[in-house]
Amino acid sequence: MKTKIYIFLFFILFSGLSFGQTSGNGTVNLKISFSKDISLDHIDVYYIEDNGSSFENINYIKDSSDNTLNIKGSHHWWGAPSFPTLVFSYPQKDKIFIFYLISSYAPPYQENEFNKKILFSFETPNAHINYNEGILKVDYVAKGFSLNFRNGINEMIKIKAEKGEE
C-alpha cells in the first residue's frame, strides 16, 4: 500500500514539473501620446485582462504640457507571456471614441528598454506592440480594426489617476 502512495505522489510531483506553466513579471512604464486635437481632460483609462495576465498595481499621470499619459505599473503573467489590452475612452458630444493598445507575446517592459513612442490620433486609434525576432516595435492600425478576445469583452477595469491628478 505504501508503494502505491509513493508512486502516486511521484507522478503528481513529476506532472507538476513536466506540465507546469511558466510565469513572469515586469515593470511597465509607458508614455502614451495623443494628437493635439484630443484633450486629456476627458480621457479615462481601462485595461482588459488577458488569460493569466494582470496588473498587480497600475496608475497614470496626465501631462498636459505634451499631451501624454504616463502609465506605470507592475504586471504579472502565467501560462504564456501576454499583456492586458489598454483602453482609452474619450467621450465627445454624443459619441465615445475608443483607442486600443495591444501587445502580442512579449510585454513592453521597462527592463527590456521598451521606449518606443506611442501616438494615438483619430486616424490611427489603435496601436499594436509587436514582437518580432527579439525586437519590440509599434504598429498603428487605422479605423475598422476589430478586437477578438478569447473570453469576450465583458469586463474593463478602470485605471486610477495618481493622487493629485484628475
Within-domain flag for 2: no
> Which of 6-10, 45-49, 62-66 has the weakest average pLDDT?
6-10
Within-domain flag for 118: yes
Within-domain flag for 78: yes
- Which sign does the torsion angle of CA 129, 28, 109, 119 carry? positive
Residue 43's pLDDT is 94
Comparison of pLDDT for 120 and 76, the residue scoring more: 120
Residues with Cβ < 8 Å from 93, sequence gap 6 or more? none
> Which of 19-33, 36-50, 52-66 has the weakest average pLDDT?
19-33
β partners of residue 90: 97
Within-domain flag for 4: no
* pLDDT at 157 > cutoff 70: yes
Between CA 114 and CA 128 the distance in angstroms is 13
Residue 18's pLDDT is 47
Within-domain flag for 13: no
Between CA 72 and CA 59 the distance in angstroms is 6
Answer whether 99's CB lies under 8 Å from 126's CB. yes
Domain span including residue 124: 22-161
CA 92 to chain centre: 25
Residue 90's pLDDT is 95
Q: What is the DSSP string of the chain?
A: -HHHHHHHHHHHHHHHHHSPPEEEEEEEEEEEEE-TTS-GGG-EEEEEPBTTEEEEEEEEEEETTTTEEEEEEEEEEEES---PEEEEEEEETTEEEEEEEEE-SS---GGGT----EEE-SS--EEEEEEETTEEEEEEE-TT-----TT-S---EEEEEPTT--
For residue 112, what pLDDT band results from cuts at 50, 70 and 90? low
Within-domain flag for 116: yes
pLDDT for 76-105, tens place per residue? 877 766 788 899 999 988 999 999 988 876
Total domains in the fold of the chain: 1
* pLDDT at 54 > cutoff 70: yes
Highest mean pLDDT, choosing among 111-125, 132-146, 147-161: 111-125
β partners of residue 48: 85
